[in-house]
Amino acid sequence: MTTKLIDPFLRPISYLRVSVTDRCDFRCVYCMAENMTFLPKKELLTLEELDRMCSTFIGLGVEKLRITGGEPLVRRDIMTFFQAMTRHLDSGALQELTLTTNGSQLERFADQLFAAGVRRVNVSLDTLDEEKFARVTRWGRLPQVLRGIDAAQKAGLRVKINTVALKGFNENELFTLTRWCAARDIDLTFIEVMPMGDLGNEDRVGQYWSLDDLRDQLRQEYRLTDLPERTGGPARYVRLEETGQKLGFITPLTHNFCESCNRVRLTCTGELFMCLGQEDNADLRAALRNHPEDDAPLEAAIRDAIAHKPKGHDFDYSRQRADGQVSRHMSHTGG
């Protein structure tokens, strides 16, 4: 048997998040600059290269594959990649194929995603107010996203909403979002804003809303029961007893979750980031392209990268500045 991927802290690496494009049809303020300069297409891995890269990781024990971007569904012919990954689901080597999306293209692709074996999708949605949605996404259209969510549910996809908790922006929608998801049998996860990208135009410290505070507000109306459930990612879950719905909390700042990290992130150019909150990365594209007929150098490069996975990130707002900030935008690494 092939030796599985184990990092220096004895954490098995079984979860790969893959950015298939740095492009997006939105410009969310915590993810991208308004006027982004995108990568030349020749630098991006082809869909065939992405297949070979992901298949190599799966051969090394990766069981969960999450496709991200940018917005993954704006990449031309992306469904051929999803369809190719279906063979790993059929063989049992891959336990889950899923994606994170802004929802803009779900109305178009929901049925095809289900046919390719996708059963869950995460949709980024920070507000149900159309004017505020346009402001936070800069280019976004809320009705289009809501139609996409409806189409996903109709196709049989389980939908989870990811909401970035933004102080002064969506605090007053906490209960609105919670009730809206409960009424539609949709899971909801709140995420603390992270210090990533150019902070020149966005005050991350001012945006930061601690999820400890958010939970305290929820307790004013609901009884929260902690759940032991894990879905392979960093979220910790509670059940709201009054509705029975499941809420998740991703807390890179208030409660560091690095001790259980089982994931790495591959960019659309073949860089492997072993930690979202660190700058260190490994270039896997060279090993892929320099040896088109031999996967052994790629496998060796992956193993070497995992051997350098750090213990954790250094995100910190406690001193009223964005300590631990990384320079790349979230869209570069993959959401």
Binding annotation: 17, 24, 28, 30-31, 66, 70, 100, 124, 160, 194, 258, 261, 263-265, 275
Which residues sit in the known binding site for [4Fe-4S] cluster?
24, 28, 31, 258, 261, 275
Secondary structure letter of residue 241 according to DSSP? T
Question: Which two structure tokens, joined as six digits, stand for 115?
Answer: 């046919």
Question: Which two structure tokens, joined as six digits, stand for 281?
Answer: 């990365």
Cα(63)–Cα(97) distance, rounded to whole angstroms? Answer: 9
Which residues sit in the known binding site for S-adenosyl-L-methionine?
30, 70, 124, 194
Exposure class string for 39-60: b at 16+ Cβ within 10 A, else e = beeeebbebebbbbbbbbbbeb
| C-alpha angle 127-239-243 in degrees, rounded to nearest 5 | 75
Cα(242)–Cα(182) distance, rounded to whole angstroms? Answer: 10
Which residues sit in the known binding site for GTP?
17, 66, 100, 160, 263-265
Exposure class string for 252-274: b at 16+ Cβ within 10 A, else e = bbbebbbeebbbbbbbbbbbbbb
Exposure class string for 147-176: b at 16+ Cβ within 10 A, else e = bbbebbbebebebbbbbbbbbebbeebbee
Which is it for the CA torsion 294, 298, 300, 301, positive or negative? positive
Report whether 194 contacts 315 (CB < 8 A): yes
Cα(85)–Cα(47) distance, rounded to whole angstroms? Answer: 11
